[in-house]
């Protein structure tokens, strides 16, 4: 009887003292591992951006091969959400509540990201580098959400400024995906044109499922635009310039960074992408930067799948993860979410293979306390899918 009572006492004591121990350890962090989650479309209409998650995966493997961060290995959990917000929500909840992620990184798409933003923020889970330049990440700013991608608005402003001031274009139109991604582009273009005392001559929305863009190009042609901004998926961007070519409508096309992987765009468009100007947020694939060379050699060459390509979308997965890795490194051995946030806020002019990234202490009234990169650079697609750099890094507020 005494023995049984002692066992009960031991069990109760273990429960009473054991649980607080496990509760004190940060979710998703053990002595040897840090669990990071990520979603990305490997199938579906936005699958071309699926390589972002694969790029992050190779980057984490490279870090692990180099010994990890402060003795811990990065365990990368990625899943295919097919660019479907319902699947994003299901996948994020499954991983967060099933396995427990310390933080989330990247995640392609405005709509999928918006679907899980509140969930992650309510649980105070850090999320670094959503792979979309949406205003929604920072309006209002969230303590645990660190945007890396330059805002689509910034890109639109930079492109419009270049089209009007450098190319002398008088009639600017935009064809945009009818969601937040596209509408952020429209907003940026309209604001910049208002500054220049001009207006968009046409705003043409495209649905993600549209397979015939002739009516859209008809509207662009009727507007007599001499420059057209493309704020769509890769498929629709190619269809727009293809349909325009067939209808003998030849304005200067300018595209968001999501279509700035020139070799791929040239291949899909059968050469029509030549001459298109695009904004971008990272170094060029053939950049001479030592860091790019290291990533190419130690991440891509060693860990990428056989038929993977060293293109912008692939190493964008590295761009969006670099600040996360830097923040974790700065935390040292004592890794908690609060400490991570505090270290991220100290990042100032941090530069990996993108423009400079800075954050500030959280200020609910300052969206830019959580917008890391405010720089973009413009490129022109030339022969063979190579890029000609048109501008230096442009800082646009």
Partner 1 sequence: MLNFLQMIVNGMAAGSTYALMGLAMVIIYKTTEVPNFTQGEMALLSSYLTYMFLDQYGVPYHVVFPAALVFAFVLGCVLEFVVLRRAKEPNILGMIVITIGLEMILMGFVSWKFGADQKTMPFPITPYDSVVIGKVFISTLELLTMGMVLLLMTGLFVFLRYSKLGIAMKATQQNDVAARLMGIRTDRIRMATWGISSTVGCTAGLLISSIVMQPYMMWDPLLKGFAAAVMGGMTSLPGAVFGAYMLGIIENLFGGYISIEFKSVVAFAIIVLVLCVKPSGLFARHYVKKV
> Is residue 179 at the binding interface for partner 1, with CB under 8 A as the rule?
no
What residues pair up with 227 in beta bridges, in sequence order? Answer: 172, 252
Give the separation between CA 254 and CA 380, rounded to whole angstroms.
9
> Is residue 224 at the binding interface for partner 1, with CB under 8 A as the rule?
no
> Is residue 384 at the binding interface for partner 1, with CB under 8 A as the rule?
no
Of the candidate residues 34, 37, 38, 50, the single one contacting partner 1 (CB under 8 A):
50
Of the candidate residues 47, 69, 312, 357, the single one contacting partner 1 (CB under 8 A):
47
Of the candidate residues 31, 66, 212, 383, the single one contacting partner 1 (CB under 8 A):
212
Residue 215 vs 361, nearer CB to partner 1: 215
Q: How far is the CB of 211 from partner 1 (least distance, A)?
A: 4
Q: How far is the CB of 109 from partner 1 (least distance, A)?
A: 14
Stretch that binds partner 1, among 18-26, 99-107, 183-191, 214-222 (CB under 8 A): 214-222
> Is residue 219 at the binding interface for partner 1, with CB under 8 A as the rule?
yes
Of the candidate residues 234, 276, 316, 353, the single one contacting partner 1 (CB under 8 A):
234
> Is residue 242 at the binding interface for partner 1, with CB under 8 A as the rule?
yes
Residue 300 vs 359, nearer CB to partner 1: 300
List residues near partner 1 by CB under 8 A. Answer: 41-45, 47-48, 50-51, 178, 204-205, 207, 209-212, 214-216, 218-219, 222, 234-235, 238-239, 242, 245-248, 264, 267-270, 272, 307
């Amino acid at each position: 009887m005494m023995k049984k009572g002692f066992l009960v006492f031991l069990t109760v004591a273990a429960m009473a003292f054991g649980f607080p121990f496990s509760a004190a350890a940060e979710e998703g962090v053990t002595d040897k591992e840090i669990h990071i989650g990520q979603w990305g479309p490997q199938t579906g209409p936005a699958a071309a951006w699926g390589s972002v998650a694969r790029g992050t995966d190779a980057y984490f493997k490279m870090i692990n091969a180099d010994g990890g961060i402060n003795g811990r290995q990065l365990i990368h959990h990625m899943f295919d959400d097919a660019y479907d917000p319902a699947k994003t929500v299901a996948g994020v909840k499954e991983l967060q509540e099933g396995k427990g992620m310390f933080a989330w990184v990247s995640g392609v798409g405005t709509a999928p990201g918006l679907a899980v933003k509140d969930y992650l923020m309510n649980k105070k889970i850090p999320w670094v580098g959503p792979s979309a330049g949406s205003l929604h990440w920072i309006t209002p700013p969230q303590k645990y959400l660190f945007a890396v991608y330059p805002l689509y608005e910034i890109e639109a402003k930079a492109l419009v400024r270049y089209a009007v001031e450098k190319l002398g274009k008088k009639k600017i139109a935009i064809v945009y995906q009818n969601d937040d991604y596209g509408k952020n582009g429209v907003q940026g273009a309209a604001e910049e044109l208002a500054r220049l005392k001009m207006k968009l001559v046409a705003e043409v929305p495209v649905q993600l499922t549209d397979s015939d863009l002739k009516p859209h190009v008809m509207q662009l042609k009727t507007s007599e635009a001499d420059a057209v901004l493309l704020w769509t998926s890769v498929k629709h961007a190619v269809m727009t310039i293809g349909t325009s070519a067939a209808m003998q409508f030849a304005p200067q096309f300018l595209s968001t960074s999501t279509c700035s992987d020139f070799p791929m765009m040239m291949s899909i468009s059968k050469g029509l992408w030549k001459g298109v100007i695009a904004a971008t947020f990272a170094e060029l694939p053939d950049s001479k930067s030592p860091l790019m060379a290291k990533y190419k050699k130690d991440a891509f060459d060693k860990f990428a799948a056989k038929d993977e390509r060293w293109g912008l979308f692939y190493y964008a997965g590295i761009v969006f993860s670099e600040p996360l890795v830097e923040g974790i490194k700065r935390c040292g051995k004592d890794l908690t979410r609060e400490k991570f946030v505090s270290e991220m806020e100290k990042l100032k002019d941090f530069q990996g293979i993108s423009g400079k990234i800075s954050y500030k202490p959280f200020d609910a009234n300052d969206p830019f306390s959580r917008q890391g990169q405010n720089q973009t650079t413009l490129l022109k697609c030339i022969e063979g899918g190579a890029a000609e750099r048109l501008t230096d890094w442009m800082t646009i507020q």
